[in-house]
Amino acid sequence: MSLQKANEGGLVLLGCGRMGSALLKGWLEAGVDPKAVTVLDPHPGDWLKMLEGKGLRLNTPVAKAAVCVLAVKPQLIEAAGDLKALGGGNTLFVSVAAGSTLAALEAILGAGTPVVRSMPNTPAAIGQGITALVGNAHCEASDLDLADQMLRAVGQTVRVESEAQMDAVTGVSGSGPAYVFHLIESLAAAGEVQGLKPDVAMKLAVATVAGAGALAQSSTESAAQLRRNVTSPNGTTEAGLQVLMDDDKGLPVLMRQTVRAATERSKELAKGAEG
C-alpha cells in the first residue's frame, strides 16, 4: 500500500553506495517501478546505468516526490540542501546517515519538513537487515508507516521512542555486522593456530556464525539458553567459555567497550552536524 505511494508520487534516492544500493534493490524487488525512481549520485555504477535503460532517472532535476531517502555519508549530508525545494511539507525525507540528527536535517531541509531518522545495517543487501527509526514532530502516522514500509523492503524494522536511542542503535546493530565479521575472522584464525587449513577454518567459522544466528532467530529459547544447550558439564565448550566469559577481560567487557566507542562516535557526528 505505502510503496504504492512511492510509485505514484515518486521516490528520490540521494547517494547510491553500499547502503543506498541495498535499499534500491529491496524497493525494486518489492515492486517499486524504476520509472518512479530518481537517483542522485555523482559516481553511478554500471547497475544504475542499466536501470536507467528501464526508466530510472539518474541525476536529473526533481520537481516532486512522495519520499526522498538520504544515503550519503554523514559528512556530505548538506548535499540534501539541493532537495530543499521539496522540503516544508509534502515530501517525506528518510535519512540513514549515522549521527545526522532530526534537528540538523530539518535545518537543511526547511522548517516543517517531515523527517525520519533511521539506522539500517548491511545485511539489508540480502533482505536481512534490521532498521531502527524515529520521526520528527512533523511526521504523521502515515509518514512513519511509509518510512517503515520502505525500510521493511530490506528486513525488519523497530521504532524507538526517542531520538536519543539512535546513537546506541548505531553502536549495536548499525555497526554490529562488522563486529560479527571480525568474530568470523578471529574464529577462523584461531582454528588455523590449532592446525586447520585456512579454507577449512573459514568455512567452519562462517557456517557456525550463520547457523547460530539462524537458530537464535528462529528459536523460542533465549540466547543464554541456546548457549547452555551447547555446554556439557566439564566439556569442551565450558573450557572455551571460561576464557570468553572472563569477568575482567572476556567478551562482555570488550563488547561493552566496543559498543560504547561506536555510540560515542555517533554522538560526536551529531555534534559536528549541528556545528
Instruction: Mark the binding-site residues for NADP(+), compressed into ranges.
Output: 14-19, 71-74
Which residue in the set 22, 72, 98, 104 belongs to the binding site for ligand A1CAB (CB under 6 A)?
98
CA 154 to chain centre: 9
Under the binding rule (CB under 6 A), the answer on residue 121 touching ligand NAI is yes
**Binding status of residue 74 toward ligand NAI by CB under 6 A:** yes
Number of residues in contact with ligand A1CAB under rule CB under 6 A: 4
- Please report whether residue 131 would count as binding ligand A1CAB according to CB under 6 A: no
Asked if 170 and 141 touch (Cβ cutoff 8 Å), the reply is no
Give which of 123, 119, 96, 117 is closest to 217, Cα–Cα.
123
Angle separating helix axes 141-152 and 18-29, nearest 10 degrees: 100
Alpha-carbon distance of 154 to 111, in angstroms, equals 30
* Window contacting ligand A1CAB (CB under 6 A); options: 169-177, 190-198, 219-227, 245-253: 169-177
As beta bridge partners, residue 159 has 133
Rounded Cα distance between 56 and 208, Å, is 40
Size of site (CB under 6 A) for ligand NAI: 25
61 binds, among ligand NAI, ligand A1CAB, none (CB under 5 to 8 A by kind): none
Q: In the window 43-62, what residues touch ligand NAI (CB under 6 A)?
A: 43
Distance CA 72, CA 142 (A): 25
Task: Enumerate binding residues for ligand NAI (CB under 6 A).
Answer: 14-20, 40-43, 71-74, 76, 79, 96-98, 119-122, 174
